[in-house]
Structure 1
Amino acid sequence: MQIVDAHQHFWDLARNYHPWLCDAEPIPFRYGDYSALRRSYLPADYRADAGRFEVVGSVYVEAEFDPGDPMGEVDWVTAVHDTSGLPSVIVAQAWLDRADCGEVLGAYGAHPLVRGIRHKPRAAATPDQARRGAEGSMDDPAWRAGYALLSAYGLSFDLQTPWWHLEAATDLARDFPQTQIILNHTGLPSDHDRAALHRWQEALQRLASCPNVAVKISGLGQPGQPWRAEDNRDIVLETIAAFSPERVMFASNFPVDSLVARFETIFEGFDTITRGFSETERSAMFRDTGRRIYRMEER
């Protein structure tokens, strides 16, 4: 099966500054200890991890590069693409509530590989702490003013936020229907307690009611536990039921998810879980939806 990996990263720590990977003090991280990621990760490493799988395209998603030089990340990734053929397209870093937002988005809109941006909105640590209207959140007028510029430059928006903020995401999608949103990492259903998963499912279904939203099934690891298809089956199937295969993309999130599983384990798990779907539907989720949503045929 051909794969378009809808979410992966590269970094060269000998050349570039990624604060979370380069600074001595680690940040809080959902998988716990991430010291194994503090090494350069380049296309040769990715291809070795992908192994026998035929990756025919990939989406590079910003990797929290030096926030003072967002275009520097795009320039470096473009050079990687030119020499290795990967990635196919780029989701770049942007800060929607910063004064230079319009200038940065204008440069991205003119770049042949950039398809969209990611700016993680402010989020609460737990569902009980979630409040609407916080500064830096999807409700923030300054943040929304930057978001409103995306459609003018033909840019999509990769949204990484936990499921307890998907009500705000639903309002965002409805208020800006011309902007394509791609929900990252399945809405982060990190707590597999039955009650928590029920609330995640309800929030996901509300967001899926917006036709301008797609989802990437990825990032399903649990800290300290092996990635197993049987543990993730219900999450995967419920996500597909909410969005349909035409708005679902499978992704590795490598090398980040190498902390919880091998590339082979993750994609064999997706393969096993989706055996009941038609080949057309499986081709959509593994390849064609990613190509379409990220406009990989455009140059």
Structure 2
Amino acid sequence: MLDEHMQYANFRGIRQSMNYHTDSAKTYLTQPEVSRTFEWRRGFKELARRGLSYDLQLYYWQMEEFLELARDFPDVQIILNHTGMQVDGPSHFEGWREAMNTLAQAPNVACKISGLGMGNWNWTSESIRPYVEEAIAAFGVDRAMFASNFPVDKLFSSYDAIWNAFKKITVGFSVSERSALFHDNAATFYRV
């Protein structure tokens, strides 16, 4: 199947939702730690063989599992989606922050800062500021990028509001840092 997709010039990689939760309403998988199984890793190895990237969606408490994966496959560019899905509210901030710093240890992992309204539909630029700043602190300006989660974000925000919040939060950043976060890193990681 990957070879068929590679016939298209713009194909760069795959995205997979690996979210596992003990609450069946919040899980995407039927079992935990799928990435540690032989069968799954055999398939993942095909990404490395073809030079494809892997967009990863997971809950923040799964990051140690995926740090192991990133270290085992250093040639695969992994892009963490939705800022590690901190959907459990501010009381879980420290656990999320520690997990982000854990996953950021792998140099082949980058972070898409997006989906921050999923945990708080009444978000403001100030309520998401700590998440944006900590994600950038963990991954560095060179391995972070801004993105939206549209059309899902449409449930609780406008496209303009999201991007204006990112602009407001980074107003003190240099021109080159903002360029990296808003454009350059995405162009690099997705090879466009």
Same fold (TM over 0.5): yes
Conserved? CA contact 1:109–1:155, under 8 Å: no
The alpha-carbon distance between structure 1 residues 115 and 222, as it changes in their structure 2 partners (threshold 3 A), is closer
SS at match of 1:114: coil
Give me the identity figure in percent: 44
Larger-gyration structure (1/2): 1
The alpha-carbon distance between structure 1 residues 156 and 259, as it changes in their structure 2 partners (threshold 3 A), is same
Whether 1:170 and 2:67 are equivalent positions in the alignment is: yes
Conserved? CA contact 2:112–2:147, under 8 Å: yes
Partner of 2:39: 142
The aligned runs of 1:1-299 (5 Å cut-off) are: 104-121=1-18, 123-125=20-22, 134=31, 137-194=34-91, 196-222=92-118, 225-296=121-192
Structure 2 Cα separation of the partners of residues 225 and 276 of structure 1: 26
> Counterpart amino acid of 1:216?
K
Gaps of 5+ in 1: 1-103
More helix by share: 2
Structure having greater relative contact order (Cα 8 Å, sep ≥ 6)? 1
Deviation at 1:245, TM superposition (A): 1.2
Conserved? CA contact 2:45–2:73, under 8 Å: yes
Gaps of 5+ in 2: none
Deviation at 1:255, TM superposition (A): 1.2
The alpha-carbon distance between structure 1 residues 110 and 221, as it changes in their structure 2 partners (threshold 3 A), is same
The alpha-carbon distance between structure 1 residues 147 and 286, as it changes in their structure 2 partners (threshold 3 A), is same
The alpha-carbon distance between structure 1 residues 223 and 158, as it changes in their structure 2 partners (threshold 3 A), is closer
Conserved? CA contact 2:87–2:120, under 8 Å: no
Deviation at 1:210, TM superposition (A): 0.5
Structure 1 Cα separation of the partners of residues 159 and 144 of structure 2: 19
When the two chains are superposed, the root-mean-square deviation of aligned CA atoms in Å is: 1.8
Normalising by structure 1, we get a TM-score of 0.59
The alpha-carbon distance between structure 1 residues 217 and 260, as it changes in their structure 2 partners (threshold 3 A), is same
Equivalenced residues, count: 186
The alpha-carbon distance between structure 1 residues 256 and 190, as it changes in their structure 2 partners (threshold 3 A), is same
Deviation at 1:190, TM superposition (A): 1.0
Runs of 4+ in 1 over 3 A off after TM superposition: 222-225
